[in-house]
Structure 1
């Protein structure tokens, strides 16, 4: 069945991806999304750790610990995100052009790679400081949606990672996406992976989820996996990969499936553990 483009489509807002330029140096919205996500996440994480009522007593992580943890997480996200993209999405190209793997400023980051990199960074940090690894995961998971929201907005500004051709009234003709209007899938991801998950996690935290370590992390992983798989039905797959099977399965779906099992296991395990500070006044 042939796709019939609609008579009207929304124009791309054509926002300059470069915010400010100083000679050869440029500050891009995409870089600001990473920096802003990390800084806002760091601030929110410290606020959570400084709120005994959310833990039913003393937090297992002191707020000051995040002054150092943020550096570890930043390296984990950036290195993991780049390595994940190279391995999962474009290995044949980078095998022939290994130096290109270092050019992060040209784009190409994988959430799933950054996710694994940040977990490894937090594990190493908590082990070095003799802190609760699972509680650190909970705190990090509660603020990650902020970075996801900003990052997907930056993807939209860059006019990248667009959706599949569509005739919905809000379809957009992207500058580098050909003549057909497409789903603004970056905005779908910003709304689901960012805003919606953030709200759900904050509600869960206010209902005492931090008192059972692993609950918040499990919720995030489970909800992200569901959100990403759903959005992949609207997002155009990477051209070098295309569809992996059946004309609809994408690499994003494949990498998200294990997250469903991991999230469910974390929640199940958390519910079997005694609550933190049980019997102590908040």
Structure 2
């Protein structure tokens, strides 16, 4: 039975402004704003002496320099992750499209892996405690996730399964059926809720003094939030369901959940402060 009330899809043009061949899209702006705000938040964390005690930490200048490394990790890892995990046949037969990120197609799990590699290299180059850098990035990552999911909603992509809930939306690219606005579910869970949980752990419980715990909490929390959201989201058409309700998003989240849980247990057993680094 169709819902009595269906929310109209907001008429927001995915392109903010277009000048000749140049077009600024909400999707690109989401990445820019997310990275800039995450950078400022990481800077604020390392400048807050109350959170660290005697812990060694990166300097604000280190954070400034890391932004470029992290951005390359997000973009290259996110794109290559999507190509390999979601549609390898298409891109390997058209290799010129692999780096065409403006056409859409980014994988969070690929971006996560790319950022981890960037952090390992940057930590080694600067002599910064690696787990502390992981913690800082984990605390800031939900900011970018929030804006990225809002951009998915504006683009009318990654929409949810057909539904009769009162807040169901008819997406212009999703046919006539009202659907779960699963992008907004992800923005709430992966962005707002996860950010607040990590904020509580870092500021109330001062767990930046347990290197690795917040990084583990982010990986565990994201994996849980993504898996819940996948229950309401339509999987990519060319992949579909792997088995029953299992989707590629859930499958890729399971290692994050396990690794995050292991990191939290390991970090919690270590003494606080520089001894744990």
TM-score calculated relative to the size of structure 1? 0.95
Equivalences, count: 274
Alignment counterpart, residue 193 of structure 2, candidates 178, 193, 196: 196
**Corresponding residue of 1:176:** 173
**Corresponding residue of 1:55:** 52
| 8 Å Cα contact 1:225-1:260 kept in structure 2 | yes
| 8 Å Cα contact 1:56-1:277 kept in structure 2 | no
C-alpha distance in structure 1 between counterparts of 2:86 and 2:227, whole Å: 17
**Corresponding residue of 1:41:** 38
1:274 partner SS: coil
Alignment counterpart, residue 162 of structure 1, candidates 159, 162, 175: 159
TM-score calculated relative to the size of structure 2? 0.97
CA deviation profile, 1:95-127 (whole Å, cap 9, x unmatched):
211111121100000000000000000000000
C-alpha distance in structure 2 between counterparts of 1:277 and 1:253, whole Å: 36
Q: CA RMSD in A?
A: 1.1
How far did 1:57 drift? 3.0
**Corresponding residue of 1:114:** 111
1:186 aligns with 2:183: yes
| 8 Å Cα contact 2:82-2:110 kept in structure 1 | yes
C-alpha distance in structure 1 between counterparts of 2:110 and 2:59, whole Å: 28
**Corresponding residue of 1:6:** 3
Structure 1 residue ranges, 4+ long, deviating more than 6 angstroms after superposition: none
C-alpha distance in structure 1 between counterparts of 2:129 and 2:211, whole Å: 9
**Corresponding residue of 1:205:** 202
Write out aligned runs for 1:78-157 (5 A): 78-157=75-154
C-alpha distance in structure 1 between counterparts of 2:137 and 2:87, whole Å: 28
Name stretches of at least 5 consecutive residues in structure 2 with no aligned partner: none
